[in-house]
Structure 1
Amino acid sequence: MPKKLPFSISPIFTTTQRTNSKCRTTPFTTLIQNPKSSSTSTTSLNFTFLNHLKNQRIDSARAVFNKIPSPHVSLYTKMLLAYAHNNNLSEAINIFHQIPSNTKDTISWNSMIKASIICGDFVTAVKLFDEMPHRNSISWTTIIHGFLSVGRVVEAERFFHAMPYADKDVATWNAMVNGYCNNGRVDDALRLFRQMPSRDVISWTSIIAGLDRNGKSYQALIFLQNMVGFTGVEISSTTLVCGLSAAAKISDFYAGIQIHCCMFKFGYCCGFDAFVSASLVTFYACCKRMDDACRVFGETVCKNVVVWTALLTGYGLNDKHMEALEVFGEMMRFNVVPNESSFTSALNSCVGLEDLEKGRVIHAAGIKMGLENGVYVGNSLVVMYSKCGFIGDALCVFRGIGEKNVVSWNSVIVGCAQHGCGVWALTLFKQMLMEGVESDEITLTGLLSACSRSGMLQKARCFFEYFGQKISLKLTIEHYVCMVDVLGRCGEVEEAEALAMSMPVEANSMVWLVLLSACRVHSNLAVAERAAKRIFEMEPGCSAAYVLLSNLYASSRRWSEVARIRRKMKHNGVVKQPGSSWINLKGLRHEFRSADRSHPLTEKIYEKLEWLGVKLNELGYVPDQKFALHDVEIEQTEEMLSYHSERLAIAFGLLSTSEGSTLTVMKNLRVCGDCHNAIKLVAKIVDREIVVRDSSRFHHFKNGICSCGDYW
């Protein structure tokens, strides 16, 4: 016997009604004429309308909206807000005016004010606010938050002070505190926070996060400690994550451990909360605890792109760039779609490895995902290409960035400066001004560096004065270093010394070091000795100062002074940084030092150098003896110059790369003048472009000339 069903089945096209125990059947056509059926139809229209809005089909939603008889005021507000989010304020206003006056409530007014703010029309927002028949705390908070969101703090303050005290709820106070923090006015945020009549978890989280964002991470941790110990306010996972961010920024390992324990105590299990897990991974990475970061990552059940990116970035922060790129590859294999932050971190690791090949592979992946024109990925690509020696590719990427920010402009200007393209840097700066992008201290550093590497002394003076006086940018030590470098490179050594002496703050060792370097180039021994004395007073162990002064004495053939400097270095335990050059091929770094014979291809490398030596002699090359910094015979001098590290790296590169391709060599010290002359001719002999990046800049050698114009 069949089981009785737990529900009854009624006919589809008839409905049965009971009256006085008698049944009668009502036809379906009669039913749809019943007024109750119209409510069913309205419900269906409402559902369809909301579904279109959810899927951002604005035109379809409006078409359905027009069919709804007497829409509820809530539907009007949803429609006008949808238009606002679509940046169509005129239609939003049109919808607002269609709301019947007897149903137009405070919520609809507040929604229209919010719509005006979303579209950036604050004049309309204020006008509507003034016309409101009744205001509540949400009305005030909406207009205050709107002004704060675009940095118009003064207007927000005016509304906040005009707001009736009785209407100021905790949300309004929180909006002001958070707005002050977001606009860098952290002292005002602290003052207001202390004045609050009551505080909730959002109040505490806002001030903790605000202090951390504004460089007061230690103070943020104190506020977190006070919140946990004394307030009785329930702590959210967001609050603890903000505290963890503060601990990470100042590498306070013990504070971070305590916060980690609090997460367990309050039940925020990192294994199932990707947000918490990512914060912990970042914290441990910032504290140089990558094993702990990996442990947290391994214990995380829900590994989303944020958690993966935290691990990827953490490896990069710890200079473990190969591991970082392996993580990026694992993300792709596990079908975790990288976001802009993932690509940025991966490209930064390519820069750390100086690995152009991997950078190009990641660039290709970014193109497939449509991210190459995004500002963050685009900026990272500009830096990657410029630092790997391909400024032309960097410029191409820069031109493709959709909405460039100040970082975009600074990245390409600094890149041009590094490659000695001073005119390009100045042209880009002119375009930056025309586009209305506000420059900053990094812009000035890039411009002064460009002038320094291109010998544009007068331009540098103009920029230094313009930024320091006309737009009142606070000049930093780095700016003075750049200006002293410009003056020194251009031969104005005495003026450079005078600038170093007259700085508003005491010149550090870097200022005197660039002056000493200029003295080495222009053989100004008197100023060099004074600059070296200053350096030794500040940094007795500065090997670069000893080497520069020793080389200056050696080029003047003052061998007794060279010997004295070397004895002093030995007495003070100062060790000269060894010169080395390297080349990256197929993910491997091949490094060389002068007269190095440790490489597996040593015999072929030296054979190549001997062949190049013959070709150089045929072109009339003669070794420049002033760059031989030892008191030895001429034959030994020529042999020492011939086997400098950059020449060994170039010979290896010529053996290991295809003909006609560009060869890129990196060097940790400044390339010597004799090698510079020789490499120009080598590039002509092999008919290839050879790029050498030394401690000063990039040199592009081609057809017997260098991009620096022999000025570096």
Structure 2
Amino acid sequence: MNRSNVEISGAFFQKTKYSKTLFAISFFLPFSSTNVKRFSQSFTTISSNPKSRTPSYKFLLSNHLKSQRLEEAREVLNKIPFPGVHLYTVMVDGYAQNYRLDDAMELFEKMPVRDTVSWNSMIKGCLHCGDLVMAKKLFDEMPGRNVVSWTTMVNGYLQFGKVEVAERLFFEMPVRDVAAWNSMIYGYLKLGRVEEAASLFRKMPSRNVISWTSMIGGLDYNGRSDEALVLFKKMIGSGVELSSNTFSCVLMACANVMALHLGVQTHGQIVKLGFRFDDFICASLLTFYANCKEMENACKVFNEKLHGNVVIWTALLTGYGLNHRHESALMVFEDMIRMGVLPNQSSFTSALNSCSGLEALDRGKEIHAVAVKLGLEADVFVGNSLIVMYTVCGNINDAIAAFNNIGEKNVVSWNSIIVGCAQHGNGMWTLTLFSRMIRAEVDPDEITFTGLLSAFSHSGMLQKGRCFFEYISRYKSSSMKLQHYVCMVDILGRSGKLEEAEELIKNMQVKANSTVWLALLSACRMHSNLEVAERAAKFILDLESHCSAPYVLLSNLYASAGKWGDVSRMRVQMKQRGIVKKPGCSWVTLRGLRHEFVSGDRSHPLSEKIYQKLNWLGGKLKEFGYVPDERFALHDVENEQKQEMLSYHSERLAIAFGLVTTAEGRAITVMKNLRVCGDCHSAIKLIAKIVGREIIVRDSTRFHHFRNGMCSCGDYW
């Protein structure tokens, strides 16, 4: 804007009595002397010709309401000498849409004349503001209802889950148009009443594209995607013209059942009909190809045009995450910010999930900082993802901080932090959080119960575990799942109550699977009970003959007892049946790169420094009185060789790598795919004390936080 234009417009605003109104319009049109002159002439016309006022007032009123400037809009309405029923209705609707129901009702009562449209608008406003009682009162008082009035109330009852009342009202309607039928079908589907929706759909006297699309989308929403695609084929045969919404629903159904061939055919139709650049179609195509593991095709769709829509960027970001291409997902997140596309809640959720997949704590913190800058830290979806990311990356304190920052917590928020604390062995924190959850009047579900029982298991809370399991069995039997039995067997097994755990499995109300017997077998390994272990292994192999876990655990148990003949027998059986033991592996993620180690590994570029550090640590450990526990050397070799094998377990190599590559005093986080061995557990406690650092080790069952010669598990894991 040049200086002369500013001076002209400013002078005009000072002179005219319509300055406030013109100032409002100036937000929508650029400043210029031409525009100012035109507005001057138009308002001169308004003041001299009353008949021309209403359209201009309507324009001003609508623009104020669009910008949520309700006080200015009301001021405009008050200045109109004889506002018609339409302008009153526009203002009433504006109040209601901004949740100012009292103001809307007050103005509605003052209206000199009320037509059917104004009554319908007021009823709809009550429903929008959540006041079903007032909506019904107005509907009952309404002098002349039309089909819109009836349909609005039907929608209202469905919105509040009152299906039976909606049904009764629907069948009482004197006239039902296609919109009324569509509303009832949509309501049924949204509430999971698929059969009722299908029955009503079949009874419809005539159907339009919305009828078909609602039914297709509703079937897919309720997990019946195959039926949705069958219906789509019938829709094509009906001759109804397809809409962009129809294609979006069909693509999502194809994505959910991975119907690649039909999805590709649908893509061809989309191109043919000119819908290819529709934003929602584009996002649906990206999701479809990503679900079908066709990321190259998803990228082709994305690259067809320059996108500024956050939904499309998020679809690509999420697609990479679903295909475990987390690095690519985070690159997309960085690119969208660089392109000026602001991420939304879904973008942050997908990006943080990729950080969890990479166990990339530093990058997760960077994304957290972006969320804080955009004011989304308190959002429940972003907050839930932050809890998971920090938990997975070993930082439970920041996970709790993220939980506390969430504005309105849902059951997923509570479950995420309870399960997180359980994984980190914080049994008392878990109980405290559960108490807070109950006080917040959030109903626990099966995931909550699993988290609590898991926490009791990892914290050695035998009596609390027994009491809570009894409570679930007696009062929450509908929520009782197999995983709750697995947790209880684990609690009993870790506490040495092996016979009681075996008895519980035999008396389960649901059929036992290999997982519950594996929990018992693992406990037998811990307590060196061969008799129960052999029975448990037999049950597992009867259920899953090619499962490697019973062979490995039983072999390790025989090795600890010095029964090398039985160890050889186990290994021969594994070889004969083609069963391969999963090798132990540990890794450290440093500056976005994952460094993996296996026992005795010397392939890493820093191997010389790593082994020097381990040899130095070996000397220090002896000074602290450490003696290797040869029971955990599972090969029949000389004692000296056993000790050397223990010294170079994968978790120790990973810790040594962390020590030589990170700054003094910084915590080291190591991940392992198997359970940490007892000898390494004892050694790492002392290593943490020697080097003066916190060492976090996540194995296949939980997190261990080693500090000052102690572990957070209390030697109970």
Q: Residues of 2 paired with 1:187 and 1:531: CA distance?
A: 45
Partner of 2:10 in structure 1?
Answer: none
Structure-2 change in CA distance of 1:264 and 1:494 (3 Å): same
Say whether 1:198 aligns with 2:210: no
Say whether 1:240 aligns with 2:247: yes
Partner of 1:311 in structure 2?
Answer: 316
Partner of 1:185 in structure 2?
Answer: 193
Structure-2 change in CA distance of 1:451 and 1:337 (3 Å): same
After superposition, residues 608-619 of structure 1 pair within 5 angstroms as 608-619=613-624
Say whether 1:131 aligns with 2:136: no
Partner of 1:213 in structure 2?
Answer: 221
After superposition, residues 82-101 of structure 1 pair within 5 angstroms as 82-100=94-112
Say whether 1:54 aligns with 2:62: no
1:143 to 146, 150, 153: 153
Q: Residues of 2 paired with 1:579 and 1:639: CA distance?
A: 17
Say whether 1:68 aligns with 2:80: yes
Q: Check conservation: 1:274, 1:303, Cα contact below 8 A.
A: no
Q: Please report how far the alpha carbon of residue 662 of structure 1 lies from its aligned counterpart in structure 2 after TM superposition.
A: 0.9
Q: Residues of 2 paired with 1:32 and 1:593: CA distance?
A: 86
2:486 to 471, 481, 484: 481
Paired residue secondary structure (2:670): strand
Say whether 1:39 aligns with 2:51: yes
What is the aligned residue count?
A: 676
Partner of 2:175 in structure 1?
Answer: 167
Which sections of structure 1, spanning at least 5 residues, go unmatched? 1-27
Structure-2 change in CA distance of 1:519 and 1:154 (3 Å): farther
Q: Residues of 1 paired with 2:466 and 2:209: CA distance?
A: 52
Q: Residues of 2 paired with 1:480 and 1:579: CA distance?
A: 28
Paired residue secondary structure (1:583): strand
Say whether 1:258 aligns with 2:265: yes
Structure-2 change in CA distance of 1:461 and 1:343 (3 Å): same
Q: Please report how far the alpha carbon of residue 145 of structure 1 lies from its aligned counterpart in structure 2 after TM superposition.
A: 1.0
Say whether 1:672 aligns with 2:680: no
Q: Please report how far the alpha carbon of residue 221 of structure 1 lies from its aligned counterpart in structure 2 after TM superposition.
A: 1.0
Partner of 2:296 in structure 1?
Answer: 291
**AA partner of residue 505 (structure 1):** V
Over residues 404-454 of structure 1, what are the superposed CA-to-partner deviations in whole Å (9 max), with x where a residue is unaligned?
111111111111111111211221122112112222222222222222211
Q: Check conservation: 2:46, 2:53, Cα contact below 8 A.
A: no
Q: Please report how far the alpha carbon of residue 263 of structure 1 lies from its aligned counterpart in structure 2 after TM superposition.
A: 1.8
Q: Residues of 2 paired with 1:177 and 1:409: CA distance?
A: 34
Q: Please report how far the alpha carbon of residue 652 of structure 1 lies from its aligned counterpart in structure 2 after TM superposition.
A: 0.9
Q: Residues of 2 paired with 1:467 and 1:78: CA distance?
A: 54
Partner of 2:92 in structure 1?
Answer: 80
Which sections of structure 2, spanning at least 5 residues, go unmatched? 1-39
Partner of 2:28 in structure 1?
Answer: none
**AA partner of residue 190 (structure 1):** A
Structure-2 change in CA distance of 1:448 and 1:195 (3 Å): farther
Over residues 377-409 of structure 1, what are the superposed CA-to-partner deviations in whole Å (9 max), with x where a residue is unaligned?
111111100100001001111111111111111
Paired residue secondary structure (1:420): coil
Q: Residues of 1 paired with 2:241 and 2:295: CA distance?
A: 31
After superposition, residues 450-461 of structure 1 pair within 5 angstroms as 450-461=455-466
Q: Please report how far the alpha carbon of residue 675 of structure 1 lies from its aligned counterpart in structure 2 after TM superposition.
A: 0.5
Q: Please report how far the alpha carbon of residue 506 of structure 1 lies from its aligned counterpart in structure 2 after TM superposition.
A: 2.2
1:581 to 578, 586, 589: 586
Say whether 1:369 aligns with 2:379: no
Q: Residues of 2 paired with 1:542 and 1:446: CA distance?
A: 26
Q: Please report how far the alpha carbon of residue 469 of structure 1 lies from its aligned counterpart in structure 2 after TM superposition.
A: 4.2
Q: Residues of 2 paired with 1:687 and 1:420: CA distance?
A: 22
Paired residue secondary structure (1:660): coil
Say whether 1:380 aligns with 2:385: yes
Structure-2 change in CA distance of 1:409 and 1:80 (3 Å): same
Say whether 1:428 aligns with 2:436: no
Over residues 322-357 of structure 1, what are the superposed CA-to-partner deviations in whole Å (9 max), with x where a residue is unaligned?
111111122122222222111111111111111111
Q: Check conservation: 1:277, 1:300, Cα contact below 8 A.
A: no
After superposition, residues 239-638 of structure 1 pair within 5 angstroms as 239-265=246-272, 267-270=273-276, 272-302=277-307, 304-638=309-643
Q: Check conservation: 1:42, 1:69, Cα contact below 8 A.
A: no
TM-score (norm 2): 0.91
TM-score (norm 1): 0.92
Alpha-carbon RMSD across the aligned residues, in angstroms, is 2.0
Farther-moved stretch of structure 1 (480-489 vs 533-542): 480-489
Q: Residues of 1 paired with 2:560 and 2:196: CA distance?
A: 60
**AA partner of residue 111 (structure 2):** I
Q: Check conservation: 1:366, 1:372, Cα contact below 8 A.
A: yes
Structure-2 change in CA distance of 1:217 and 1:74 (3 Å): same
Partner of 2:184 in structure 1?
Answer: 176
Structure-2 change in CA distance of 1:448 and 1:158 (3 Å): farther
Structure-2 change in CA distance of 1:616 and 1:302 (3 Å): closer
Q: Check conservation: 1:584, 1:590, Cα contact below 8 A.
A: yes
Q: Please report how far the alpha carbon of residue 303 of structure 1 lies from its aligned counterpart in structure 2 after TM superposition.
A: 5.1
Structure-2 change in CA distance of 1:558 and 1:706 (3 Å): same
